[in-house]
Structure 1
């Protein structure tokens, strides 16, 4: 019951921060005040606060009231921008690192998304993406064989694969399809993102293609909860998808 309770408290605090009750720079109430508000033990409150600290929403200094660090910023997906372009456009310092690059046979799903025969060779890439030094996303991407050599030639700390493909190889992504859902963190995701196994992750899967519709990549991107949200604004003529830092 206690484990469920700390999740409820973390969700309420997260909503209060994103709703403006605690603006950036504000201090959260003390652990004892929060415990009294939710009729919970200080240990349960401490777990909830630690969850928000792990998400980068609040400062993680011990022995002091936590300070709100995160504010919401929005980027529209009506234009096909890379993760790095979006992050830098809203004032973040972005860094990335290749953890592995391996050629292997495509899975059934990868083959379907990349429009290749089942078992055709793809380049499987694992990357860790950071915003302002904090790990926020684990990226698993299968690149079609026709761009594999270009991706293999990129530096380990390459800022953006798609930007590099466009700049150095003339391969420009002009079409994207996005699938968004949630899932619990497995052992590898939890280790890379500094979370507990089973913590919620926001997953964005997408395929990118060039102007002729030839698939370039099929990617499975898993974001730490609270680091990025997506929203859709409807109108009679368009339904732009937007990505934001923080919780929506």
Structure 2
């Protein structure tokens, strides 16, 4: 059952998206919204916390919450799967495995997954969609110990992260992400419906369990216009690290 603060967050999310609360405007006060929804301020603050984590609203001490964006974004301080992020924005996520095969890990893959060079890994090429439209192409390499659980999932699995947790107890707790731009190759162009050579946003990520055991490493390429990564930082808190391009 959906909890009350989640229902309130969804109502406010829709009001922001449809322009009832435009970017730059202030939301009604806590007391006004708590009265309107018939809930305590504590419940309302949980809803605010959800919207803040999505980058939709911001807050300053002594001031009302301000609308920052109409599109939910993913914070770099939390780890969310593609499906979780999509649903938070009221989008329908989808996925389809295009190719799958096992192979020996290269030296680079072994280093990323903390394996011995030559150990077996699983390669998955997966197309991700938003509302039925191609959004990104994932080239994921899974550590051998997780391969069987991944192969057992249906090719159109909506959320690999959630399914691995439910079927094999694998919890992906930590992620490292590197963002850059690349030109679309032949496969990218065909599957994402763009011209070869078109610029794509690339996110290279490695995900580990709570114990630090690598589960996967991936090269994710986003179709132009499908997603926006928003970074908000301050002089008090800046979790981002700037590194030189490879």
TM exceeds 0.5? yes
Name the structure 1 match of 2:230.
Answer: 231
Structure 1 residues without counterparts, runs of 5 or longer = 1-22, 25-70, 242-248
TM-score (norm 1): 0.66
Count of aligned pairs between the two proteins: 174
Show the counterpart of 1:40. none
1:238 Cα deviation (Å)? 3.3
1:92 is paired with a residue of what secondary structure? coil
1:174 is matched with which residue? 173
Q: Can you list the C-alpha shifts for 1:28-61, whole angstroms capped at 9, x where unaligned?
A: xxxxxxxxxxxxxxxxxxxxxxxxxxxxxxxxxx
Deviation at residue 234 of structure 1 after TM alignment: 1.7
Residue 190 of structure 2 corresponds to which residue in structure 1?
191
Q: Secondary structure at the match of 1:205?
A: strand
Partner residue in 2 for 1:151: 150
Structure 2 distance, partners of 1:173, 1:132, is 25
CA drift at 1:233: 1.7
Alpha-carbon deviation of 1:155?
A: 0.5
Deviation track 1:127-162 (CA, whole Å, cap 9, x = no partner) reads 000001110100000000111000000001001111
Superposition CA RMSD, Å: 1.9
1:117 aligns with 2:113: no
TM-score normalised by L of structure 2: 0.67
Task: Give the equivalent residue in structure 2 for 1:107.
Answer: 106
Q: CA deviation at 1:100?
A: 1.4
Which structure's relative contact order is higher, taking Cα pairs within 8 Å and 6+ residues apart? Answer: 1
Aligned counterparts of 1:84 and 1:136: Cα–Cα separation in 2: 12
Distance of 2:182 and 2:100 partners within structure 1: 24
Q: Look up the SS of the partner of 1:197 in the other structure.
A: coil
| 1:98–1:126 contact (8 Å) kept in structure 2 | yes
Deviation of 1:95 (Å) = 0.7
Q: Is the 8 A contact 1:232 1:240 kept in 2?
A: no
